[in-house]
Amino acid sequence: MKKIFSIFLLSFVFTLSSFARHAPKSDKGIFLSPGQHFDYVMYGYVWDSESNTYDVVFAPGFVGGTAPVILGLSSAFTNALPKYVSSEWYSDCFDMVPDACRFANNTITNYALVYFPTKARENLWGAGNTVKDSFVTAGEFIFDDMPEAYSGCGQFVSENLGKSLGGWLTPPLAGLGILGASVWYPLCGIGSVTAGSLGGLFQTMLAGGCVGCIGGSFLTAGGAVGGSVPAASLRAFMAPGAEALWAGGAGTLATVVCEAWNAAVVTPCSFLEPRPKGKHDTALMNFYPAYRNHPDDPASLIRKK
């Protein structure tokens, strides 16, 4: 099947390439000659009378547009599907089994027996410290910061009461300061205790979660070991087919898009393209950089003719 497909493809390419390079005898004229127009649409290249090559930036050409499906099918038949008859492929797949055993051992040793118990203990200690620290902070707000604010208000009055400009405002301003401090610092203390209590509760919940994760580590390790053989089998028998389907499907879709682009955009534009004059070999970015100038690109055979 592969040989038949390759023979058909090469026949198709060389048949089309026999019409390539319609270099005009003269570069006189405004628009492309009929031969140049043909090359423009079919290959995405134009040649002038001196055989200088012009790579049309946005035109893959109908022949060049077949490159994605050619490469996709080539990858499917030469890279993906041959894995089914490769002993090395099956060996690589079933290496997942000892890898899963090592993963299970690391999970139980490092996480279930060391990390999660340590983390649970740290969180429980942290929960108690968080609550204790919040009460300490609340006491500082009420018993240190609030009296200091009162003292500052009294000093403000004593320093400014006798001044001629605005001195009479100092008592009411100090009263407002005392009132604000009497409200603000107790609220700060209540907020500190509330936040600390919520933080302690959260860390306690984390500690419980770590204890639950110990059992989860054993389940994960057991699942890895138990599922390694089915997973390896599924990979061995499904992956090459999926890879081939993806390569062929993506290549086919890209070719369909390229051919539609050629029909809808490139062909009409070719009638408006000016005829190239003089030596000028363009090296602009290509329409389809993954395939343009690729050795398997049919247009490359034409370009090198």
Report the distance separating Cα 194 and Cα 180, nearest Å: 21
Q: What is the pLDDT of residue 53?
A: 73
Residues 6+ apart with CB under 8 A from 33: 22, 24, 275
Same-domain status, 182 and 294: no
Report the distance separating Cα 138 and Cα 153, nearest Å: 22
Query: Containing domain of residue 74, as a range?
Result: 29-91+242-303
State the CB neighbour count (10 A cutoff) for residue 42. Answer: 23
Same-domain status, 145 and 68: no
pTM over 0.75: no
Same-domain status, 172 and 196: yes
Q: Residue 269: inside a domain, yes or no?
A: yes
Q: What is the pLDDT of residue 294?
A: 43
Q: What is the pLDDT of residue 289?
A: 36
Q: Residue 283: inside a domain, yes or no?
A: yes
Q: What is the pLDDT of residue 169?
A: 67
Q: What is the pLDDT of residue 38?
A: 82
Same-domain status, 128 and 151: yes
Report the distance separating Cα 255 and Cα 264, nearest Å: 14
Q: Residue 11: inside a domain, yes or no?
A: no
Structural domain count, the chain: 2
- What's CA 82's distance to the chain center, in Å? 30
- Give the domain-ending residue among 237, 255, 282: 237
Same-domain status, 248 and 228: no
Q: Which of 12, 36, 2, 212 is nearest to 123 (CA)?
A: 212
Same-domain status, 58 and 179: no
240 exposure class (CB count in 10 Å sphere: 0-12, 13-18, 19+): buried
Q: Residue 3: inside a domain, yes or no?
A: no
Residue 138, CA distances (Å) to 180, 201, 205, 244 in order: 17, 18, 24, 67
Asked whether 17 and 301 are in contact (CB, 8 A), the reply is yes
Q: What is the pLDDT of residue 240?
A: 84
Same-domain status, 118 and 58: no
Low-confidence residues of the chain: pLDDT under 70: 1-29, 51, 57, 162-169, 277-305
State the CB neighbour count (10 A cutoff) for residue 281. Answer: 9
Q: What is the pLDDT of residue 285?
A: 31
